[in-house]
C-alpha cells in the first residue's frame, strides 16, 4: 500500500491511496487543479464495490443502504449487473430520464402524459372509469349502463340502455316482451272461408290501437256463377265471448267484381286484454284465398 500527497501553491494539489496486489490496483485519489485559471476538483475511487454501512455494535443490525458495483456480481445465485443499489431511497424532488421499476407501490400519481401503446395488459380492470370519451376497438362489457354513446363493435353480456339510435342492426334472435314494438302479424290461407284467429295482447294500462287489412279472392278451383257473399272482419275475446263485427258487406256480388275483395278496419284493444281477429266470408259454398294483416301500434 502506498500514499502520496503533494502540492504546488497556486497550481494544483493531489492526495492518493493505492493498493497493488500483484498488479490488481485499488485505491482512491483526490485532486484539485486549475484549468485556464478556473479551479476544478475531482475524487476518484477505484474498486469493484463501494458501499456505506452503519457502525457495527451491540443492538445494531448491519445495514448497507448504498452500494455501487462497478462489475457484475452474483448475489444469492442471481447475477446482479453493475450499477447503483439502494436498500431504501427517499427523493424529495427528482427527475428520472428513464426508469425501470419491477414492483411499485404509489400512493398518489400525477402523470402528465401516458401513451396507450405502453399499456399491454390483457385485461384492464377498474371499479370506476370517468372520461369524456372512451375509444375502444373491441369492448367486452359484463354489466354496463350507457346513457349515450357510439359503439363500433361491442360484446355486451348484460346492459341497461336508456335510449339508443341504431342505423343498421343485424339480430339473429329478437325477443321483445309484450310486443313492445310495432310488429305486423299476417295470416294467410288458401281454399278456405276464414283466416284467423290472429291474437294480440295488450299488457299495459291503456288502449292499444290495431289496424287490420284483408284481401281475398276466389280460389283457383272455384266455378261460378256464385251466390251473394257476406264478407268482413271481426273479433272476439275468447271462445266464451260473442263474435263482434268490425266491418261487414252483405251484398258482395262475386260475379260482378272480378272475384277480388279488399277491406280494412281498426280497433282499440282494452287494457290487459287479449283480442282475437278473424277475416273471411259467409257464403253458400264459395272458397277463397285470404291474406289477413294485423298491425298493432303500441304507444
Q: How many angstroms from the chain centroid is the CA of residue 48?
A: 55
Summarize the confidence of residues 185-205 as an average pLDDT. Answer: 82
**pLDDT top residue among 8 and 248:** 248
> Mean pLDDT, the chain, as a whole number?
78
- Which of the pair, 7 or 18, is modelled with greater confidence? 18
| Enclosing H/E stretch for 196 | strand 194-202
For the segment 269-284, what is each residue's pLDDT rounded down to a tens digit?
Answer: 888 888 999 888 876 6
Task: Say if residues 178 and 274 touch (Cβ distance below 8 Å).
Answer: no
DSSP string, 94-146: ---SS---SS---S----S---GGG---S----S----S----SSEEEEEEEE
Of 212, 219, 227, 226, whose CA–CA distance to 263 is shortest? 212
Single out the residue of 281, 296, 288, 277 nearest to residue 187, CA to CA: 277
Q: Which of 73-77, 94-98, 263-267, 286-290 has the lowest mean pLDDT?
A: 286-290
pLDDT of residue 17 exceeding 70, the answer is yes
CA–CA separation, 142 and 157 (whole Å)? 5
CA distance 245 to 281: 12
Per-residue model confidence (pLDDT) at position 226: 65
Domains and CATH numbers, the chain: 2-47 (no CATH), 51-86 (no CATH), 135-164 (no CATH), 179-296 (2.60.120.40)
Q: What is the dihedral of CA 173, 177, 183, 187, to 10 degrees?
A: 90
Contacts 24+ apart (CB under 8 A), 59-67: 63/87
Lowest mean pLDDT among 43-47, 93-97, 158-162: 158-162
Nearest Cα neighbor of 235 from 189, 194, 286 is 194
Task: Identify which has the larger pLDDT, 220 or 212.
Answer: 212
pLDDT computed for residue 265 by the predictor? 92
* β-strand pairing of 12-21 with 24-35: antiparallel
The predicted model gives 122-136 an average pLDDT of 65
- Percent over 70 (pLDDT), the chain: 72
Q: 100-104, 110-114, 250-254 — which is least confidently predicted?
A: 250-254
Residue, of 11 and 127, whose pLDDT is higher: 127
Q: For residues 174, 175, 178 and 179, what is the CA-based torsion angle, rounded to 10 degrees? A: 10
Q: What is the DSSP letter of 60?
A: B
Q: If you average pLDDT over residues 37-46, what whole number do you get?
A: 85
Which runs of E-coded beta strand occur in 147-287? Answer: 154-161, 184-192, 194-202, 208-218, 229-236, 244-252, 260-269, 273-282
DSSP element (H, E) containing 265: strand 260-269
The upper half-sphere exposure of residue 270, i.e. CA atoms within 13 Å in the direction of its Cβ, equals 4
Rounded CA separation 219/287 (Å): 6
Residue 239 confidence (pLDDT) above 60: yes
Q: Identify the pLDDT of residue 297.
A: 64
Phi/psi of residue 183, each to 5°? -130, 120
For residue 209, what are the contacts with CB-CB under 8 A and spacing of at least 6? Answer: 266, 267, 268, 269, 296, 297, 299
- CB burial of residue 237 (10 Å; 0-12, 13-18, 19+): middle
- Position 299 confidence tier, pLDDT thresholds 50, 70, 90: very low
Is the separation of the CB atoms in 143 and 158 below 8 Å?
Answer: yes
Share of the chain above pLDDT 90, in %: 4
Amino acid at each position: 500500500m502506498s500514499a502520496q500527497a503533494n502540492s504546488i501553491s497556486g497550481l494544483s494539489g493531489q492526495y492518493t491511496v493505492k493498493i497493488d496486489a500483484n498488479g490488481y490496483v485499488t485505491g482512491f485519489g483526490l485532486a484539485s487543479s486549475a484549468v485556464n485559471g478556473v479551479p476544478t476538483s475531482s475524487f476518484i475511487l477505484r474498486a469493484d464495490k463501494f458501499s456505506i454501512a452503519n457502525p457495527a455494535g451491540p443492538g445494531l443490525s448491519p445495514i448497507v443502504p448504498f452500494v455501487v458495483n462497478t462489475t457484475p456480481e452474483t448475489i444469492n445465485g442471481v447475477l446482479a449487473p453493475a450499477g447503483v443499489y439502494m436498500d431504501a431511497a427517499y427523493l424529495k424532488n427528482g427527475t428520472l430520464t428513464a426508469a425501470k421499476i419491477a414492483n411499485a407501490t404509489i400512493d398518489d400519481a400525477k402523470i402528465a402524459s401516458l401513451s396507450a401503446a405502453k399499456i399491454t395488459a390483457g385485461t384492464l380492470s377498474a371499479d370506476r372509469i370517468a372520461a369524456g370519451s372512451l375509444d375502444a376497438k373491441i369492448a367486452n362489457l359484463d354489466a354496463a349502463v350507457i346513457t349515450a354513446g357510439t359503439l363500433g363493435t361491442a360484446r355486451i353480456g348484460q346492459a341497461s340502455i336508456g335510449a339508443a339510435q341504431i342505423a343498421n342492426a343485424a339480430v339473429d334472435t329478437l325477443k321483445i316482451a309484450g310486443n313492445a314494438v310495432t310488429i305486423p302479424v299476417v295470416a294467410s290461407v288458401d281454399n278456405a272461408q276464414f283466416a284467423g284467429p290472429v291474437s294480440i295482447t295488450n299488457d299495459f294500462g291503456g288502449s292499444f290501437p290495431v289496424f287490420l287489412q284483408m284481401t281475398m279472392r276466389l280460389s283457383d278451383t272455384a266455378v261460378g256463377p256464385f251466390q251473394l257473399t257476406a264478407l268482413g272482419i271481426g273479433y272476439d275475446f275468447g271462445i266464451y265471448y260473442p263474435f263482434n263485427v268490425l266491418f261487414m258487406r252483405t251484398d258482395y256480388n262475386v260475379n260482378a267484381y272480378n272475384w277480388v275483395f279488399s277491406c280494412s278496419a281498426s280497433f282499440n284493444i282494452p287494457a290487459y286484454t287479449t283480442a282475437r281477429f278473424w277475416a273471411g266470408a259467409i257464403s253458400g259454398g264459395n272458397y277463397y284465398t285470404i291474406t289477413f294483416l294485423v298491425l298493432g301500434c303500441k304507444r
